[in-house]
Structure formats: structure tokens, C-alpha cells
Structure 1
Amino acid sequence: MQISCGPRSEVTIMHDRSIRLARPGEAQAIATLVCGSISELCLDDHDGDDSLIERWLANKTKDEIAAWIAAADLSIFVIGCSTGLAAAGCHREDGVILMNYVSPFYRFQGLSDRMLTHLESSLAALGITTARLVSTRTAIGFYQKRGWHTYGDPIPCRGVSGQPMMKDLTEDRARHETAN
């Protein structure tokens, strides 16, 4: 199952990497981006198995994303591009990062890293000292390179396995304050 995120012919290198809160009218675009990212970039997790992909994508619908955007305890951020959206990230106010996805068309341009940094900063601004997430196999190395640590055993997540991870956000803050 492959889900198109948009016309590849219109994709260019990102110049404007500004991050902003998602708007209610962007629920479908976010759902399309997330579904495309999962189906095309998370092959290590689903091995192209259509039934696993369908289970994983079951809650990544326009209506579900619209509910997330409206939820008071969630913050969804996006990075726009000329064809719509290039990346989306979300966290709960209790310190859990729920998503960090990039369009397959904008992979390897630093957008996932930029979004993760933004999510971490947003949580730190809320007073969160330890952030948590559940990583795919595909993304574990990405998170480890950015100071995240695994804890516990992998857990089932919509038909695939997810690895709980955590990061002490005060370490980054202390490192930044020392550098200045």
C-alpha cells in the first residue's frame, strides 16, 4: 500500500523551515502526510505488509487529526511547503511526543530534526523536564543521535512494535545555558 503525499515534480529543497501550530482546515493534509510517511518510510517496521499498514493508519484519518487539533491537551505543529505540508509533529502537554513525521518528498532535509527540536523546546517551555515517546524501529537511531534513550521492552503499537524512549530536557537546557 503506497499513499501519495503529492506531486513529486513540484518538490524542491525547503527554504522556509518555519514551524507553526496546525490549523483545523489542515487535518486532511496532515493525515495524508502522516499516512504517506508511514507507508513509504517505515518499511523496517511494516515490511510492506498491507494489513499491518492498514492497522497502523486506522487512526490517522482526517476526522481523528481534526480531533487532535481541537484537543486542549495536544499541540500539533507543521512545516509548510509550496505543495502543502512537509512535516508534522505533535505532543501532549504531559510530555509525550505522539508524532514526528516528514513527507517522503522532503526526507533528509533536516525537517524531522527541526521538528523534534521544536517539540522538545515546546515541552520544556511547559515545564516538562523529561519527554517520552514510542519510536518505530525505523527512527530509533534518529532519536538516539539526538540524546534519547530507550527504556523498557518494545510494546505493541497498532500491529507493529514500538520502543519506549525518554530524554532529559534539562540536560539540553543546561548545555545551552553553559554555551551562552
Structure 2
Amino acid sequence: MSMRFEIRQAAPIDASAACALLRRSIEIGGKADHEGKPAVLEAWLGNKTSANVATWFASPSNFAVVAEGEDGSLLGLCLLTQAGKIALCYVLPEALRLGVGRALLDAAEQHARTWNIKKLHLYSPPSASAFFERQGYINAGKDTSCFGMESDLLWKSLEESCELAPGAARKRFCNCNG
């Protein structure tokens, strides 16, 4: 299945639709992570209000992007903080595995580079960790999220490396020794 979408910077006017997207993604897409733990789900959804999302989008210390479908509906969102944290990266369950999450994360990583951020980190529910690992994030192990769910702490360096993988060609303008 193919789905067309556009990645664009989020605006406070997107808050209501983004809030609905977050809640649906967590309730349905995150079911494996909160199933049987209503207190975890309630805590996870606790700050997902339209007013909070509008504040997050309007903050100059955040950069938020959304994936907008051809019909104008939001399919996903990603929020980066100036501290180098991917605070949100959610995709509607029906838009999973269509490149939406990867495109959102790429946009956030590109913006992080404009802020001279060298390393990103995030907390992921276990069900989504493999996605981030496929995008080059390293799983540093388990931690407990602020809402009481076991999560994986992941990080990624945004600095170009001069080290070569076996069989890889040396970069033409590499400044490393060797």
C-alpha cells in the first residue's frame, strides 16, 4: 500500500488534530505496551491535551513536524527539543510501515543539525524500539518513563564518523588519520 504525505513544520493550529493523533497512536498502537495496566495508559495520556500540544508546538525551544496526508489529515508527528531529545514521535496505526515515521525522524534530525546538536536521545516503548534501531539509534537499555512504563533509552550520534565499516570505501574528504 502506498500513501502520499507531506512533512511540514507543525503550528499551534494543528494542536487539536495532533492531540487526537497522539491519543489514538498510544491507545491503539501502544496497546502491547500498556495492555492490562490502566494506570500506565492514564498517565501516558495525561498530558496529551490540545492546550499542551499547542504550547509544545509554539515553544521556541522545540521543533515539531507533522506528516500531512493528501486529504489534509495528520498521519504522524515528531517533536525535538533543543536539549537533543526526541520527545514525541508517533504515527497513526493505519499509517505505520509506510515511511511516515522515518520521514518525520529525518526532518527532526536535519533540524537538530541546524541547532548544532551532536547527539539525540529518546525513550521508546518496547514495541517501537526496533523502529528506532533500524534508523541508527543505539539501545542503551531499559529505564522507567515518567509515567511508570518500562521504556528503552535510545541515542544516536549526528556527527559524521571517519571510521569505516569492513569493505566500505573511504570518504573522499575525511579528516581522520589513516
Normalised to the residue count of structure 2, the TM-score between the two structures is 0.84
Relative distance call for 1:161 and 1:179 in structure 2 (3 A) is farther
1:83-162 matches, within 5 Å, as: 84-162=73-151
Which structure 1 residue ranges, 5 or more long, are not aligned? Answer: 1-11
Given that 2:30 and 2:127 are in contact with CA atoms closer than 8 Å, whether structure 1 keeps it comes out as: yes
What is the match of residue 8 of structure 1? none
Letter of the structure 2 residue corresponding to residue 25 of structure 1:
I
Say which one has the larger Rg. Answer: 2
Structure 2 segments unaligned to the other structure (5+ residues): 165-169, 174-178
Q: Which amino acid aligns with 1:76?
A: A
Q: Is the 8 A contact 1:36 1:103 kept in 2?
A: yes
User: In structure 1, the residue corresponding to 2:127 is in which secondary structure?
Assistant: coil
Moved more, 65-74 or 40-49: 40-49
Residue number in structure 2 paired with 1:19: 7
Tell me the SS of whatever aligns to 1:151.
strand
From the superposition, tell whether residues 155 and 50 of structure 1 become closer, same or farther in structure 2 (CA, over 3 Å): closer
Please say if residues 79 and 87 of structure 2, whose CA atoms lie closer than 8 Å, have aligned partners that are also in contact. yes
- Give the superposed CA RMSD: 2.4
Distance verdict in 2 for CA 1:122–1:173, change over 3 Å: farther
Number of residue pairs matched by the alignment: 167
Asked if residue 77 in structure 1 is aligned to residue 65 in structure 2, the reply is: yes
Distance 1:18 1:77, change over 3 A: same
Name the counterpart of 2:20.
Answer: 32
The secondary structure found in structure 2 opposite 1:75 is strand
TM-score with structure 1 length normalisation?
0.83
- Contact 2:84 2:112 (8 Å CA) reproduced: yes
